[in-house]
Structure 1
Amino acid sequence: MFVVCLLMLTLGYPVAFTFAGVSVFFGLYAEGLDLFMLIAYRLYAIMTNITLMAVPLFIFMGLVLERSGIAERMLESMGLLFGHIRGGLAVSTVVVGMLLAASTGVVGASVVTMGLIALPVMLKYNYNQQLACGVICASGTLGQIIPPSIVLIILADVLHQPVGDFYRAALLPGLLLVLLYIIYCLAAAYFKRDTAPAIPRASRISSKQFWQALLAITPALTLVMVVLGTVITGIATPTESAAMGTVGAIILAVLGGNLRVSMLHQVAMETTKISAMVFTILAGATFFSMVFTYTGGDDAVERIMEYLPGGQWGFVVLMMIVIFLLGFFIDFVEIAYIFVPMIAPVLLKLDIDPLWFGILVALNLQASFLTPPFGFSLFYLRGVAPVSLGTLHIYRGVIPFIILQLIGLVIVMMFPDIVRVFL
């Protein structure tokens, strides 16, 4: 079933309908019509899942922050604060990527926003084209590991863990990635001066501009701290904090004078489209996992995994390799909803901490946004980058950041206590 699905995807068929269609064929062949009496119950369980209600709310919150210009002001302000040092614009892009990840969680919005604002500035000050492209794509994907991440919500649901625990566990690994990115940008600027030059003295920041920059960052940062703080401390559920964040984003747009009925309409339509895509894939994935389970697929996978050499570590290393390779061809939603449930029963058999494993999967899935040929961040940046910037520059630019993501993955794998620091 899995191989046929991959084949259909490479031929260009839509993801959700591919998994659902293949499931119908194999389900009819293996079990007949009786199996499909259960699909209505599965779909109803998705529709009534309160945790998953946080997904469209966080998408809406992120799009409001992006369309109201708050994200743009954050990026410009961070550029003013860090631009006077070599590699400073790249560092500011990473920091803003982290803030956008914590305030929006929408990779497409982050990459497009930074591509429109930060890329022209870095090219203007003679930044290396590959470094500029790589840092924008990589920083935009931080929304996959830094809460409130949609991936973490999905993985928490699939692995039957509290979303709040996943958020707390992901904080330090997310900050670790940010630190690795910053170290790389500063090192690249230090060892090769013309890679990331400093902004000329005439363009540097005054004390008045410094305080204005801090003032521009404060509202969104406050919203992020309130939204994440309520989840992490257990004051509110992820769905409640998402609803609060949505209201907070609208209030910030009102205070900034950027709230328009037309803007709200665009945000609502875009949220509907993204949410429909996610939940349609979820419906197809649920159908797939049901047929896979009832035809004995989970037992077969479990038996195979039990005979892997190396026990726990053999299983974890192999799964990380498989997920990384799958990321070249299919999206994080399909991997999280289809592949992870296939191997989840083995976690209990091998006594592997599902929280730690879920964070490893989330770190691994970040690379799926950067790996060609189907890395979505590459497409997002290509869509807004100037024509003079070649596609090969984007592909080459992300390679060091893919390596950094794998280094972060290995560090968390070797030191599992990292995910338990804030628990």
Structure 2
Amino acid sequence: MQFLIEHIDIVMFAVTIAMLIRGYPVAFTLAGVGLGFALIGAWLEVGYFASGDLSFLKPFYSRVYGLMDETNEVLVAVPLFIFMGVMLERSQVAGELLETMGRLFGRLPGGLGFAVTFVGMLLAASTGVVGATVVTMGMISLPSMLRYNYAPSLACGSIAASGTLGQIIPPSIVLIILGDAISNEYTEARRNAGDWAPDPVSVGDIFAGAMVPGLMLVGAYLLYQIAIAVFFPSKSPPMDARDADPVTPRMVLRVLVPPVCLIVAVLGSILAGIATPTEAASVGAVGSVLLAGARLEPGRPWPQIAAFSGIVAALILTSGFDLRVSRDVIAPVDRIAIGAAIIACLLIAWGIASSLWRAYQRTEHAGGPSMLSEVMRSTMRVSSMVFIILIGAQLFNLTFRGLGGDETVREILDALPGGPWGAIFAVMLVIFLLGFFLDFLEIVFVVVPITAPIIFSYSNPDGSVMFHPVWVAVMIAMNLQTSFLTPPFGFALFYLRGVTPPEIRTVEIYRGVIPFVFMQLLMLALLAAVPELATWLPTRIFG
């Protein structure tokens, strides 16, 4: 019994993992275990609860308020990006893109595999929602690949791997939440280490850091598809030209240009320093509404075209003229520009209103809820889940530290062979294993606050931080992506299993993803050996 009391922090962590694996609600598990063990700690007078009361939990309110108040704009991007992804998925913009690219590349050997990887990259950059991407690609592409005699294992592996690109290619929900957590823990850890002016880390830095590794991973997937088409052509044959409807350049431009423009607008505004991630998320939400409106009634795109023209005009006017109306003296040219800006805003409002009305009128079946209602409900459901888990995790982490958990974790990591590199390897291994059983939210909100302060406390001889926070964030994101794809517990495999025909055995899905898992492990090793792959682009862009 005395041993359990002395290691009550480890018992607390083990109980939490066991309850999560049993399927109890995450938010209530974290909050309930945190409060329960705080009461136990006060009763036993352990750690910072030695006074016998719960005064150590007083900062809980300020922690939650500090995360949710108006000064923390990063988390506002979460529901906006979720809305963007759900809107594109429900309006079939993603499905139409996948079908058209499949017909475009399908006549080439391995062409359907190329199309799946290419579209997976675009969907990752425009939706950032892994489950929706895997399910959409599985429902649309898998029947076609099987019909044209693709090897079932290769088809399933390509779809599952491409669908998980939303973990690493920005704007990813994982990167947003991970970036916010890493930024907070990095700043606190460096101040505790005596560095009172650490370089700030933003979600934009994390986005830029993930770009190069993410694109390299896409390149590896494409090279693998090419190798299979060359050396094993029977596994990835071309489509029969008689069965494939011709694809005209106009069709390709119609389905490809709008998502690409949306991606450029969202990521480009962040990387160029024009907008914060939250502002870029609002651009993405508005853009997804306009794309959905144009997709729902392709014969009447004029409101959406007018809105797009209004956006371009507003940007030009903002950069070229002084549009402030509160001045005492306004030049005639500026008056004309202000009037033009008002007209541009009216065009934008018209396009958004038209698109929302079309989404409101569209239903999946007679008498069912409108598409807009479903999008709003899905967005609210996922956003609420994220924030309630975040609140529960704050109570859990505070109690864990109050029981001495941070000192225990430091002692364990410091005792490992290999020094700081042995410690970070152990952290990555734990995250990889937990990814089999827990969603990324639990891992980011629970594991990162416990381990990140220790990782960022390691310093070089010159006093600089040993592990760059952007590199750590990208390593964790790619590690989670690998874990979600690894048999037998990868979440992506369960998503895909739900939409595959019964004649495809589960072992074929496992066999198909193994080469992609090895590619991701090699990418992880390369990223560990060359951290500049993650830190070079943020340094070049943001200095």
Q: How far apart are the structure 1 equivalents of 2:415 and 2:138?
A: 47
1:40-59 matches, within 5 Å, as: 40-48=61-69, 49-59=72-82
- Name the amino acid aligned to 1:199: M
Q: 1:171 aligns with which of 208, 211, 215?
A: 211
The secondary structure found in structure 1 opposite 2:165 is: helix
Instruction: Indicate whether 1:216 and 2:216 are aligned.
Output: no
Q: Which residue of 1 aligns with 2:36?
A: 25
Report how far residue 387 of structure 1 moved.
2.3
Cα shift readout 1:251-282 (whole Å, capped 9, x = no counterpart): 11122235321111100101111112222221
Q: How far apart are the structure 2 equivalents of 1:77 and 1:361?
A: 34
Alignment gaps of 5+ in structure 2: 1-11, 42-48, 184-200, 298-357, 361-369, 459-465, 539-543
Instruction: Indicate whether 1:268 and 2:376 are aligned.
Output: yes
Q: Is the 8 A contact 1:302 1:345 kept in 2?
A: no
Report how far residue 153 of structure 1 moved.
0.9
Q: Is the 8 A contact 2:109 2:237 kept in 1?
A: yes
Instruction: Indicate whether 1:303 and 2:411 are aligned.
Output: yes
Q: How far apart are the structure 2 equivalents of 1:321 and 1:348?
A: 18
Report how far residue 421 of structure 1 moved.
2.8
Q: Which residue of 1 aligns with 2:165?
A: 142
Instruction: Indicate whether 1:68 and 2:108 are aligned.
Output: no
Cα shift readout 1:112-167 (whole Å, capped 9, x = no counterpart): 11011111110110111111111111111101110001111111111112001011
Q: 2:485 aligns with which of 370, 389, 392?
A: 370
Q: 1:104 aligns with which of 118, 127, 130?
A: 127
Report which stretch shifted further, 73-82 or 158-167. 73-82
Q: Is the 8 A contact 1:330 1:374 kept in 2?
A: no
Report which stretch shifted further, 317-326 or 302-311. 302-311
Q: Is the 8 A contact 1:145 1:363 kept in 2?
A: yes
Q: 1:6 aligns with which of 2, 17, 24?
A: 17
- Name the amino acid aligned to 2:129: V
Report how far residue 85 of structure 1 moved.
1.9
Q: How far apart are the structure 2 equivalents of 1:24 and 1:399?
A: 41
Q: Which residue of 2 aligns with 1:16?
A: 27
Q: Is the 8 A contact 1:130 1:397 kept in 2?
A: yes
Q: Which residue of 1 aligns with 2:107?
A: 84
Instruction: Indicate whether 1:195 and 2:235 are aligned.
Output: yes
Report how far residue 81 of structure 1 moved.
2.3
Q: How far apart are the structure 1 equivalents of 2:536 and 2:141?
A: 34
Q: 2:222 aligns with which of 166, 169, 182?
A: 182
Alignment gaps of 5+ in structure 1: none
Q: How far apart are the structure 2 equivalents of 1:169 and 1:10?
A: 32
Q: Which residue of 2 aligns with 1:280?
A: 388
- Name the amino acid aligned to 1:339: V
- Name the amino acid aligned to 1:237: T
Q: Is the 8 A contact 2:21 2:438 kept in 1?
A: no
Q: How far apart are the structure 2 equivalents of 1:182 and 1:320?
A: 27
Note closer, same or farther for the CA distance 1:417–1:344 as it changes in structure 2 (3 Å cut): same
Q: Is the 8 A contact 2:470 2:535 kept in 1?
A: no
Q: How far apart are the structure 1 equivalents of 2:457 and 2:57?
A: 29
The secondary structure found in structure 1 opposite 2:498 is: helix
Q: Is the 8 A contact 2:436 2:491 kept in 1?
A: no
Q: How far apart are the structure 2 equivalents of 1:269 and 1:204?
A: 38
Report which stretch shifted further, 31-40 or 154-163. 31-40
Q: How far apart are the structure 1 equivalents of 2:522 and 2:251?
A: 37
Cα shift readout 1:186-208 (whole Å, capped 9, x = no counterpart): 222322221111112334564x6
Q: How far apart are the structure 1 equivalents of 2:377 and 2:107?
A: 40
The secondary structure found in structure 2 opposite 1:388 is: coil
Q: Which residue of 2 aligns with 1:95?
A: 118
- Name the amino acid aligned to 1:188: I
Q: How far apart are the structure 2 equivalents of 1:413 and 1:82?
A: 35
Q: How far apart are the structure 2 equivalents of 1:16 and 1:244?
A: 30
Q: Is the 8 A contact 2:424 2:455 kept in 1?
A: no
Q: How far apart are the structure 1 equivalents of 2:245 and 2:527?
A: 38
Q: How far apart are the structure 2 equivalents of 1:342 and 1:278?
A: 19
Report how far residue 222 of structure 1 moved.
0.4
Q: How far apart are the structure 2 equivalents of 1:400 and 1:15?
A: 32
Q: Which has the larger radius of gyration?
A: 2
Report which stretch shifted further, 4-13 or 213-222. 4-13
- Name the amino acid aligned to 2:513: V
Q: Is the 8 A contact 2:488 2:510 kept in 1?
A: no
- Name the amino acid aligned to 2:205: D
CA RMSD of aligned residues (A): 1.7
Report which stretch shifted further, 19-28 or 157-166. 19-28
TM-score (ref. length: structure 1): 0.95
Q: Which residue of 2 aligns with 1:388?
A: 503
Q: Is the 8 A contact 2:414 2:420 kept in 1?
A: no
Q: How far apart are the structure 2 equivalents of 1:39 and 1:45?
A: 10
Q: Which residue of 1 aligns with 2:313?
A: none
Cα shift readout 1:56-89 (whole Å, capped 9, x = no counterpart): 1101001111111111111112112221222110
Report which stretch shifted further, 36-45 or 331-340. 36-45
- Name the amino acid aligned to 1:360: M
Report how far residue 415 of structure 1 moved.
0.9
Q: How far apart are the structure 1 equivalents of 2:38 and 2:518?
A: 40
- Name the amino acid aligned to 1:379: F
TM-score (ref. length: structure 2): 0.75
Instruction: Indicate whether 1:128 and 2:151 are aligned.
Output: yes
Report how far residue 50 of structure 1 moved.
1.5
Instruction: Indicate whether 1:227 and 2:260 are aligned.
Output: no
- Name the amino acid aligned to 1:347: I
Q: How far apart are the structure 2 equivalents of 1:394 and 1:254?
A: 36
Q: How far apart are the structure 1 equivalents of 2:455 and 2:105?
A: 44
Report how far residue 284 of structure 1 moved.
1.7
Q: Is the 8 A contact 1:108 1:380 kept in 2?
A: yes
Q: Which residue of 1 aligns with 2:447?
A: 339
Report how far residue 373 of structure 1 moved.
4.6
Q: Is the 8 A contact 1:83 1:89 kept in 2?
A: yes
Q: Provide the aligned length of Structure 1 versus Structure 2.
A: 422
Report how far residue 400 of structure 1 moved.
1.9
